[in-house]
Amino acid sequence: MKNLFYASFLVIILTSCANENDNVKQVESGVSEAMATQRASQISNVHYNLSFDIPNEQKAPIPSQLVLNFDLEHFKEPVYLDFKEETSKIKSVSINKTEVDILHKKEHIVLHEDYLIKGNNTVIIEFDAGELSLNRNEDYLYTLLVPDRARTLFPCFDQPNIKGMYTLNITAPNDWKVLCGSKEIKQTQKGEYTQHNFSASDQMSTYLFSFVAGKFESVTQKPANMDMTLLFRETDTTKIKYSLDSIFDLHQQSLSFLEDYTAYPFPFQKMDFATIPGFQYGGMEHVGAIQYRESSLFLDESATANRKLSRAKLIAHETSHMWFGDLVTMNWFNDVWMKEVFANFMADKIMNPAFPDIDHQLAFMITHYPNAYGEDRTLGTNPIRQDLENLNNAGSLYGSIIYNKAPIMMRQLETVLGKEAYQTGIQEYIKTFAFKNAVWGELIDILDKKSTTDMVGWSDVWVNSSSRPIFSDDI
Ligand SMILES: [Zn+2]
């Protein structure tokens, strides 16, 4: 009797769920490859107009607004915006001027197809900003949204191949500075707070969007023909005096090299940077506003040559990303290794010659070969290029194969092609896919035409297959 009662009760629950919305129930949490593929074919011309009102109190919520414009084609189903936060943070949703019920399922805000139109749509969402990746401190905060954390901060299409423009409007305490990917065009003081308005940004993927706000010192220099601004919190005057000029010069040195090597001028409105105490990585290549770990850039006279080389390479690495990753972006995170390998490869080219006393070949071998072989000879090894079914598993891709085998592969690739064919291939790749997305195979197709070697076959062995090659022969 009891069991039967529960069984029929369960049937009612299941039936009511199934009836609620047949399309919604098929959606999974995270950003699945299937959803990303569908959205990329449907959605274009994305423009995020974002406002954040940052209060003085670290724990108080951040009231925010998104005015989202996008073009939509051939749709029969709802459109899903990614927002990985509690539903209570969403205050209202309006689609094309109609206020609609808030439907938030499995980390997605569901935009019902009845309110959408073919062509340009405007969606307005009032919400409290998600704070998982906001890194809030008492007197500063910064976003770090790679690989799929833009969706923890604001509703968006969080996938690298839907690039968008961002127009930001940030209100913060009067003594705070604000840095983001585009230029500040207006400041308006309102009592204890100042509203900072920024121009529309360049096109970028969600993981490259950022802002930094807080009590920072600011220095602007013009090492060549572009102003660059640095925000920092370092207080050691010796380190500041010893490091400032070098930080700007190293960026300029990298920039000049890359413009020459890629035959493509610096592609964005600006390149500013902020140093942040205790930053999670050495650096992160946000468009227009690179973030660095403060202690990696500010050195004093006692710094060793190796420490200076590391700083130089870090700056060259992040600057290289402006072309490799930011301008030409992976289509999906299974190719995230490409931008990292390119950035390291270019950083070696840019900075090694300035440190002639260091044996760079030996350093490369010691750093990469033991780790790459150590992993690649095991049964559990994986190819450099792996499938990724959902962005929420992107973290599982990182390891010795990406960090150590891939750099060896890239050197081999240049050796097989020859330096000149390799460089002209890279130039063609950058020019072809500028402000777009590319997959590894598209680069290989370009390189294949520049070589008598079968580069597609070569890439299958090095990149798409795991383990080291096994040679056999009959004698
Ligand atoms: Zn990188």
The reported pLDDT for the residue numbered 24 is: 60
The reported pLDDT for the residue numbered 246 is: 98
- Rounded to a whole number of angstroms, the distance between the first and last alpha carbons of the chain is 77
3-state helix, strand, coil split of the chain in percent (to 5) is 40, 25, 35
CA of 312 to the centre of ligand 1 (A): 14
CA of 284 to the centre of ligand 1 (A): 7
Mapped onto helix, strand or coil, the DSSP state of residue 299 is coil
CA of 377 to the centre of ligand 1 (A): 26
Residues 252 and 245: beta-carbon distance below 8 Å: no
Alpha helices in 263-335 (DSSP H): 294-297, 305-321
CA of 35 to the centre of ligand 1 (A): 26
The reported pLDDT for the residue numbered 20 is: 45
Alpha-carbon distance of 122 to 200, in angstroms, equals 17
CA of 282 to the centre of ligand 1 (A): 9
The reported pLDDT for the residue numbered 218 is: 98
CA of 281 to the centre of ligand 1 (A): 9
Alpha-carbon distance of 431 to 160, in angstroms, equals 19
The reported pLDDT for the residue numbered 74 is: 87
CA of 339 to the centre of ligand 1 (A): 7
pTM of the model: 0.93
DSSP letter (8 states) at residue 401: I
Q: Which two tokens stand for residue 390?
A: 């959902």
CA 233 distance to own-chain centroid = 24
List average pLDDT for each run of 10 residues in the chain, which is 475 residues long: 39 38 73 96 98 97 98 93 98 98 97 97 98 97 97 98 98 98 98 98 98 98 97 98 98 98 98 97 97 98 96 98 98 95 97 96 96 93 95 89 95 97 98 98 98 96 88 87
CATH number for the domain running over 26-214: 2.60.40.1730
CATH class of 328-464: mainly alpha
CA of 402 to the centre of ligand 1 (A): 12
The reported pLDDT for the residue numbered 395 is: 84
Domain ranges of the chain: 26-214, 328-464
Closest CA relative to residue 205, chosen from 447, 437, 27: 437
